[in-house]
Each structure stands twice: as C-alpha cells, then as structure tokens.
Chains A and B, each alone.
Chain A
Amino acid sequence: MTVINTILVPLKRVVDANVRVRVKADGSGMALDGVKMSINPFDEIALEEALRIRERGEADEIVVATLGAQVCSQQLRGGLAMGADRAILVEVDRELEPLTVARTLLALVQREDSQLVIMGKQAIDGDNNQTGQMLAALWGRPQATFASHLSFNGGVATAMREVDAGLEVIEVDLPAVVTTDLRLNEPRYTKLPDILKAKKKPLETITLDELQVEPETQFRVLGIEPPAQRPRGVKVGSVDELVQALRQKELI
C-alpha cells in the first residue's frame, strides 16, 4: 500500500508567461482581452512532480483543482492531458484573495482525504506567494516551500528548498503542503492522444457553497497604475566609451 492515496494539485489559470501585459489606459485593470491563458508555470511543475511520485508507485491518484470561472476547465483539461486522474472546478465568478483560496483548498483536502498538496510557490499574475503557506497553517500541517527536490520515505518527505542563502534541507511529516520552485523538474509535453484521452476523464464542477466556504475580501483595491518608466539610455560604441560613461556617472 502506498502512503499517499491522493495528491491534490491546484492549478491556476493565468496570463501566459510570454505575454507582456499592460495596465488599461483608464487604470481600471489589466488589458487582458484575447491574450493567451495558461496553467501557472509553477503549478505545471507541481503537477509534473505529482505525476513522477505516482509513477514511482508512491501515490495512487492525482486530483487537479482550480477556482475560477467555467473557462478554467481548459486548464483542468490540460492537467488531465498531462496525466492527472480527475479534476474539480470550484466555480467562482470573482477574484479571490489568497486566504479564501486557501480555505477552499482546505475544504477540498478534507473532501478528498488528501495527504499531500503540491502547488506553485506563486502565481505569476497575483505574485502573492501566500496560498500554500496559508493552506498549511489552516490545516495545521507542515509546509515545504520553494522546493527544488523532493523525496519520500514512508510518511516523511525530505525537501530541498531554494532560499536566499542557497539551499536548505528540511524534513516534514505527511500530510503536508509543498510549494514548487522552478528547478524542481521540467514538465512534460502532452501528446495528442493524451489530449483526446483527457476528454473522457472526470471533471466535476462544485460551488463554494457546497464546500461551505464564505468568500471574504479584506483588501480594497484603490487603483492600478503602470510602473514608473526608466528614462531611455544611450548606446556606446566601444569599451572605451563605456568606461568614459561610467566615469561621468562617477561609478568608477
């Protein structure tokens, strides 16, 4: 028997990492019409790690879940095509703060009796880097954040974490939450037959009500503005000119 029966992997639908997004001219939000949307890259890494754990025979099943509108089922289908077993869409029609996302994920963990949640360290739109830590706190369980290596020995996970000083190794008892850093793995590409197969895998839609989660908004957004622009610089023609320019700015 494996120690982990169900791994929960939350997938967030975000603007593709290659798209350069801008603030709308009237400052009412981001100009996102028609831009390419993808699975948050860190969540893709999380799913890849879960797949490898299952392929090593250390887990039985992988459930992907997202909170968002119906269109997010595209990203869930993407997760199923990568190899997840089933998907849950928690249908919500508004932006949620990380604490509400974490409360919802906790309800899913309990509903699915999951022993391991692997998720992105941050979503590349909100850039909050909070949700995993909040989930671990609410669950009263360990967090192994910014993981770049992960292994299991019975009910104990060993994680290498990317921290400012270099690498840190910690050990956590399962159940636990792991958040992924970029170098944990390289996600696989999905092949056409997998995409076709994914159409037949179960995708369930539920509501916050069913999970008994009351969305809460604490922070009031007063405005969105573009960042300050740096003044355009100069191109120099040679190393000598570069050295002169640095001297002029009294940097050398």
Chain B
Amino acid sequence: MARVLIVAEHDGRSLNPSTAKCVSCARSFETSAIDIAVLAGDGGAVAAQAAALAGVTGVIRVDHPANEGALAAVAAPQVCEMAADYTHVFGPSTTFGKDLMPRVAALLGVGQLSDIMSAESAWRFKRPFYAGNAILTVEAPQDRPVVATVRTASYQAAESTGKAPIREQSVDAALPAHTRFIETRSDSGGGRPDLQTAARVVPGGRGVGSKENFELIYRLADKLGAAIGASRAAVDSGYAGNELQVGQTGKIIAPQLYVAVGISGAIQHLTGIKDAGVIVAINTDAEAPLFEVADIGLVADLFAAVPELIEALGG
C-alpha cells in the first residue's frame, strides 16, 4: 500500500496551511502511512502543528542550521535520504514546493507530477495544463517513487484533531554550500488575511489606474474582511506587490468570494480562480471576458461603484 511522505512548508514558526492540503490529497487514496518531514533550524513548534493534523501517522523532525533558509538545494538531498521508506513524496504547488520537488525527483532519477488536482487512486491523478484549459489524467509507474506537487486550491486543509508521534532525525547527507539564503522582503499586507487561504479576496486590475487609487481596493477589502489580490498588469504597473498576483504564473486560489475590480479576465488570470465560489466582476466594458465566468456582473465605473458598495456594506 502507499506510504506518503509530505515535505512541510513553514516559516520556522508556523506550518503553512498548504501542508494540511497535501495531507488531504494523500488521504483521498488508500495509504498505510502519511508522514510529514519538518526540515528547520529549530522545528519544535512546526513539528507539533504537523503532528496534530488529522490522518498523519508520524512526523520526522530534522533540525539543522542549514535548514534555516528553506533552500531547495539544501533540502533536496535530505528529502531524498528519507524517500527510501516511501512510495510517494509530496509537496505543495506553492513556490516552496515548485522549487524543491523537481530537484528531489531528479536526484531520485524519476519524473515529477505537477499540480495534482484529484487522485483516482494512489497512481492515477488529474492535473491541469495549458493554463487550466485542459485536464490531463495520468498514471505513474508503481515501480518507483511518485514525486508530486499538490494543487492547494483543489483541497481543503486537514483539521487539527490528531496526535501523531514525532521523532527526531539527524542529517547524514552532504549539504551543498553553493547556495546561500540572504533575506526575505515582504509587504506583510498590513495584517490583512493571507491571499492563498482567505475566504474572501478583492483583487484590483489595471482599470484601477494607479497605486494611489488602489487605496479603494484596500478599503473595500477591509470592509469585507478580505485579502488583496491583483492582476499581472496591476503588479507590473507597480500598484501591488508580486506576492498578490493571481493567475497561471501567480497564485491559484479558491476563496468563497472573489470581487474583481477593473480586471478584464485574461485566460492567464482566470486560471487562478477556477475554483472560487462566487466571482463578482465590476468593469466598465460589458464585453470583458471576466463577465463570462462571473456569477454576478456589474457593468459600471469602479470609481463610482466601489465607493457606493463600501457605503452600502455599512459599518
């Protein structure tokens, strides 16, 4: 039976919800083990959170100073060492997992599956390609490990109701020194919900017109308790940070509510919101492609409609 190893994504303090989504993917087929590997400088807190996820059978905690920066080149040989005990090695299809998992696969001498959106069995999966315009069903061979990333927007996070054992493991693999972490720079988003996991998202597009005007998006988002998002055009124009880009080459998300303001709905953008619950579009152009997928469309000038909407939502 399948034995799945999941590589935890975390920031040293908290486990990223993407890991709990990988657990849900692994729980969707028959397994005899679902273990989580926590590679960190000091992984105590993260390992405890991983051990609490429902369905997890064990947590392997690997503390090493070199694991501080979460570098793929450093993590990959360690993951490969653990992989021998497993039939599957999963990571999330976030920038962390996309960076790491192909490196793990190649070191193991096997191919990698990207963006699992559903599992028909432990060896048969569906994944999107062509910007989500097509869904591929593929079968992986059973005679070698399945290394894959899990499309996080396709799964709910596993709940924290479990209590799996945690064991510590030391690093035997030789770790490279050719790659060095320098720093992370992020706009923490002013305490707003995280785009990738938020139940509501308000994204702005080129139609918003300037960084100053983006204030309107912030106000609407705050009214709705929503995270901020952006189209590529809005990011390229400097209205919003790159971490807010939604789409084929940005974040793929599945909020309950998505209120797109001044976004045309290019195919690459739509790829990012295929699994959203209710999509609202506010755009002056009645022909904008976003209206084809929007559940509720309002043809209107955003500079009139958004303040009115904020007003209508009340205090």
Q: Which residues of A contact B138 (CB under 8 A)?
A: 219-222
Residue A69 lies at the interface, judged by CB distance under 8 Å to chain B: no
Mostly, the A contact residues are mixed
B182 touches A171 (CB 8 A): yes
B294 touches A233 (CB 8 A): yes
Q: Give complex CA distance A163, B99 in Å.
A: 10
Residue A194 lies at the interface, judged by CB distance under 8 Å to chain B: no
A183 touches B139 (CB 8 A): no
B178 touches A99 (CB 8 A): no
Residue A164 lies at the interface, judged by CB distance under 8 Å to chain B: yes
Residue of A nearest to B115 (CB): A127
Q: How far is the CB of A41 from chain B (nearest CB, A)?
A: 9
Residue A206 lies at the interface, judged by CB distance under 8 Å to chain B: no
Q: Which residues of B contact A240 (CB under 8 A)?
A: 312
A222 touches B274 (CB 8 A): no
Residue A230 lies at the interface, judged by CB distance under 8 Å to chain B: yes
How many B residues touch the partner, as a band? 35 or more
Give A145-194 interface residues, CB cut-off 8 Å to B: 145-146, 148, 158, 161-173, 176, 181-183
Q: Which residues of B contact A221 (CB under 8 A)?
A: 136-138
Task: State which of A58-66, A76-84, A110-118, A132-140 sits at the interface with chain B.
Answer: A132-140
Residue A196 lies at the interface, judged by CB distance under 8 Å to chain B: no
Residue of B nearest to A129 (CB): B98
Q: How far is the CB of A103 from chain B (nearest CB, A)?
A: 9
Residue B293 lies at the interface, judged by CB distance under 8 Å to chain A: yes
A134 touches B187 (CB 8 A): no
Given A129-B102, A239-B305: A251 touches B278 (CB 8 Å cut-off): yes
Q: Give complex CA distance A241, B305 in Å.
A: 12
B186 touches A165 (CB 8 A): yes
Residue B232 lies at the interface, judged by CB distance under 8 Å to chain A: yes
Task: State which of A2-10, A17-25, A48-56, A197-205 sits at the interface with chain B.
Answer: A17-25
Residue B82 lies at the interface, judged by CB distance under 8 Å to chain A: no
Residue of A nearest to B109 (CB): A99
Q: Give complex CA distance A132, B98 in Å.
A: 11
A182 touches B297 (CB 8 A): no
Counting chain B CB atoms within 10 Å of each CB, the highest count among A137, A162, A171 belongs to: A137
Residue B112 lies at the interface, judged by CB distance under 8 Å to chain A: yes
Q: Which residues of B contact A17 (CB under 8 A)?
A: 268
Residue of A nearest to B181 (CB): A170
Q: Which residues of A contact B113 (CB under 8 A)?
A: 219
Q: Which residues of A contact B141 (CB under 8 A)?
A: 218-219
Q: Give complex CA distance A216, B112 in Å.
A: 13
**Chain B residues packing against A (C-beta within 8 Å):** 11, 69, 71-73, 76, 94-96, 98-107, 110-115, 124, 128-141, 144, 176, 178-187, 196, 200, 224, 232, 235-236, 241-243, 248-249, 251, 256-257, 267-268, 274, 278-280, 286, 291-300, 305, 308-309, 312-313
Pick 9 A–B contacts, CB within 8 A, sort by A: A17-B268, A21-B130, A121-B249, A143-B103, A164-B95, A164-B243, A170-B71, A218-B140, A227-B134
